[in-house]
Amino acid sequence: MSDSKGFDPSAILDPNRALIPAVQRVNSRLVRRGFWPKIRKLARKLPFAEDVVALWFCARDRETPMATKAMLTAALAYFVLPTDVVPDWFVGLGFTDDAAVIAAAIAIAGRAIRESHRLAARALLDRFADEA
């Protein structure tokens, strides 16, 4: 599935790249450093924030298969990067590519994303809303 400019969000989640140990380390580092600051900043503005946080919980779950974790971490790393196919600062368009990558990650993860991940995401986002 590609958009009108030929961008294919599933390319970000290409197992030939996302499963390479060196790429996994870079993606993990990006997510570790940038995920929570970005979510805290955007949680109320991002319509797919719950999905992103649920993916984070799924990627951290011991029961999630390693290959799935690597793919989810690749998607989360893409989300964290401010310089991607459509830069995040473009009002109205900046997160469309991120949403496509997150949707592709959800499709890949399938049943690995459990209701407990979604409930944890909702609870955390509610807590962020209460802090604001």
Nearest Cα neighbor of 59 from 46, 47, 76 is 76
Of 1-10, 32-41, 88-97, 107-116, the poorest mean pLDDT is in 1-10
Mean pLDDT of 66-94: 76
Nearest Cα to Cα of residue 13 among 107, 119, 91: 107
pLDDT band at 8 (very low <50, low <70, confident <90, very high): low
Q: Among residues of the chain, what percentage have pLDDT more than 70?
A: 80
The answer to whether 9 and 100 have CB atoms below 8 angstroms apart is: yes
Predicted confidence at residue 32, as pLDDT, reads 95
What mean pLDDT comes out for the span 65-82? 92
Q: In which band, very low, low, confident or very high, does the pLDDT at 132 lie, cut at 50, 70 and 90?
A: low
The per-residue DSSP string of 9-35 comes to GGGTT-HHHHTSHHHHHHHHHHHHHHH
Residue 67, both tokens = 């290959």
Tell me what the mean pLDDT of segment 37-50 comes to: 89
What is the amino acid identity at position 94? G
Q: Above pLDDT 90, what percent of the chain?
A: 52
Taking the C-alpha atoms of residue 73 and residue 35, their distance in angstroms, rounded to an integer, is 10
User: Alpha carbon of 63 to those of 20, 66, 68, 105, 129: distances in Å?
Assistant: 20, 9, 10, 17, 29
Q: What is the mean pLDDT of residues 106-129?
A: 94
For the segment 110-121, the average pLDDT, to the nearest whole number, is 96
Mean pLDDT across the chain:
84
Q: Rounded to a whole number, what is the distance in angstroms from the first to the last CA of the chain?
A: 37
In sequence order, the 6+-apart residues with CB closer than 8 A to the CB of 44 are 128, 129, 132
Mean pLDDT of all residues in 12-36: 88
